[in-house]
């Protein structure tokens, strides 16, 4: 067993041990344990998530709620953190879908929504955030119609305290998760995302992750509605904002130190960089216009690729896909691809002895 495998096994065992302890302690002690568990969640990779978050674990949580061994408040604190890291690490886990806990959540959502008197909006929002991010693209249409207004209301909160910022971030992550797959984000919701982005540009009220998520929510709709291109490019200045975010994020990573560390683990800053590159991929895949800011943006993408290529190959593959979209859609001039360093980078990569077939094929298409 390698050192990495042993470390991963230790993380999984420690998490399972902490989870087992929740049954026999009071609510305040449970909160402390959940804080420890959140630290372990941050350390886990996709494989470790799969090992820990089984149908049996979700069923166990449901049973603990039923037997009053864990409060719903603490359950939601735990599951919101699970959902958060599932979304950031891009984990696809189907175990929640087939668990009894999913049924409990759906019943709670429907019952709360049916109340004639004042509804518990905080409870509904928390339930939706867990439900949307853990279930990924398997949310029934009737529940989507219920949940979207609550998530949008939470995402539009303009308070600037840390707790409010965290809640806005969670709501935007949940909306982003839904928006990748569903057609329900109609024009009224598009205007909400536009206002969230514009307000941030003026007041800087969002976290970096929340801002990236807001853009991706809007771009998910752009895939279906090309009329949004004018708003995205010329009114909200997507390219300019993406350049700024990428440059500031890259400065937060000690690339030399990161290269010497374990390559399999991804810091939160690297995660946000990867998500921005993914967002740029969506944009350039569907973009048909040209803009003078694109050439500077391509240069920033090239620099990101060079910095991350030996640390995070996933970022490299996403950058490669962007270059292919640029070449196919002709969103920039050939001279811009040359001057930005994209062509030189592609030629260097083709000569790498360890290049995989998919990326080599993409590079040849670009050339």
Each residue's pLDDT, cut to its tens digit, for the chain (367 residues) gives 444 444 556 899 999 999 999 999 999 999 999 999 999 999 998 889 989 999 999 999 999 999 999 999 999 999 999 999 999 988 888 899 999 999 999 999 999 999 988 899 999 999 999 998 998 767 887 888 888 899 999 999 999 899 999 999 999 999 988 876 555 556 667 889 999 999 999 999 999 999 999 999 999 888 777 888 899 999 999 999 999 999 999 999 877 766 556 545 678 899 999 999 999 998 988 887 778 888 899 999 999 999 887 788 788 888 888 988 888 887 788 888 888 888 888 888 888 776 667 777 777 777 7
Instruction: Evaluate the CA torsion angle 287, 171, 266, 82 in order and state its sign.
Output: negative
The predicted pLDDT at position 183 comes to: 55
CB atoms within 10 A of CB 361: 12
**Residue 366, Cα to own-chain centre: how many angstroms?**
28
pTM: predicted TM-score of the whole model, two decimal places: 0.90
> CA-CA distance, 181 to 63, in Å (whole number)?
31
28 to 69, 71, 78, 140, 155: CA distances (angstroms): 13, 11, 13, 35, 29
What DSSP character marks residue 330?
Answer: T
Say if residues 33 and 76 touch (Cβ distance below 8 Å).
no
Instruction: Evaluate the CA torsion angle 88, 285, 220, 231 in order and state its sign.
Output: positive
> CA-CA distance, 282 to 232, in Å (whole number)?
13
The predicted pLDDT at position 140 comes to: 82
The predicted pLDDT at position 228 comes to: 87
Task: Look up tokens 């119609």; give the residue.
Answer: 145
The predicted pLDDT at position 6 comes to: 40
- End-to-end distance of the chain based on CA atoms, in angstroms? 43
Q: Which two tokens stand for residue 337?
A: 């691809």
Q: Which two tokens stand for residue 104?
A: 């409990």
The predicted pLDDT at position 265 comes to: 63
55 φ, ψ to 5°? -55, -40
> CA-CA distance, 365 to 351, in Å (whole number)?
15
The predicted pLDDT at position 225 comes to: 79
> CA-CA distance, 284 to 288, in Å (whole number)?
8
The predicted pLDDT at position 2 comes to: 41
């Amino acid at each position: 067993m390698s050192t990495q495998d042993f470390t991963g096994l230790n993380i999984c065992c420690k998490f399972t041990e902490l989870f087992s302890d929740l049954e026999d302690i009071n609510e305040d002690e449970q909160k402390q344990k959940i804080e420890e568990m959140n630290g372990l969640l941050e350390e886990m990779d996709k494989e470790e998530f799969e090992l820990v978050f089984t149908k049996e674990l979700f069923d166990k949580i449901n049973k603990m709620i039923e037997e009053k061994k864990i409060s719903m408040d603490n359950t939601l604190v735990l599951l919101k953190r699970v959902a958060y890291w599932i979304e950031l690490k891009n984990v696809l886990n189907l175990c929640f879908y087939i668990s009894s806990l999913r049924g409990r959540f759906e019943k709670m959502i429907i019952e709360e929504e049916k109340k004639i008197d004042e509804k518990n909006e905080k409870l509904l929002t928390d339930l939706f955030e867990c439900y949307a991010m853990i279930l990924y693209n398997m949310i029934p249409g009737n529940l989507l119609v219920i949940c979207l207004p609550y998530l949008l209301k939470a995402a539009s909160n303009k308070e600037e305290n840390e707790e409010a910022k965290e809640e806005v971030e969670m709501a935007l992550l949940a909306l982003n998760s839904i928006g990748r797959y569903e057609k329900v984000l109609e024009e009224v919701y598009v205007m909400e995302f536009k206002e969230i982005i514009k307000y941030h540009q003026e007041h800087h009220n969002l976290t970096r992750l929340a801002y990236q998520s807001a853009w991706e929510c809007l771009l998910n709709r752009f895939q279906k509605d090309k009329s949004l291109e004018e708003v995205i490019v010329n009114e909200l200045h997507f390219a300019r904002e993406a350049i700024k975010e990428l440059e500031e994020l890259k400065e937060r990573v000690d690339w030399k130190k990161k290269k010497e560390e374990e390559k399999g683990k991804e810091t939160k800053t690297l995660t946000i960089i990867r998500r921005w590159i993914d967002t740029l991929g969506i944009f350039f895949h569907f973009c048909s216009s040209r803009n003078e800011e694109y050439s500077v943006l391509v240069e920033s993408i090239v620099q990101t690729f060079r910095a991350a290529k030996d640390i995070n190959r996933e970022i490299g593959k996403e950058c490669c896909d962007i270059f292919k979209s640029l070449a196919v859609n002709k969103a920039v001039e050939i001279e811009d691809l040359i001057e930005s360093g994209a062509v030189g980078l592609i030629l260097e990569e083709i000569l790498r002895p360890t290049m995989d077939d998919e990326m080599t094929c993409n590079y040849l298409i670009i050339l």
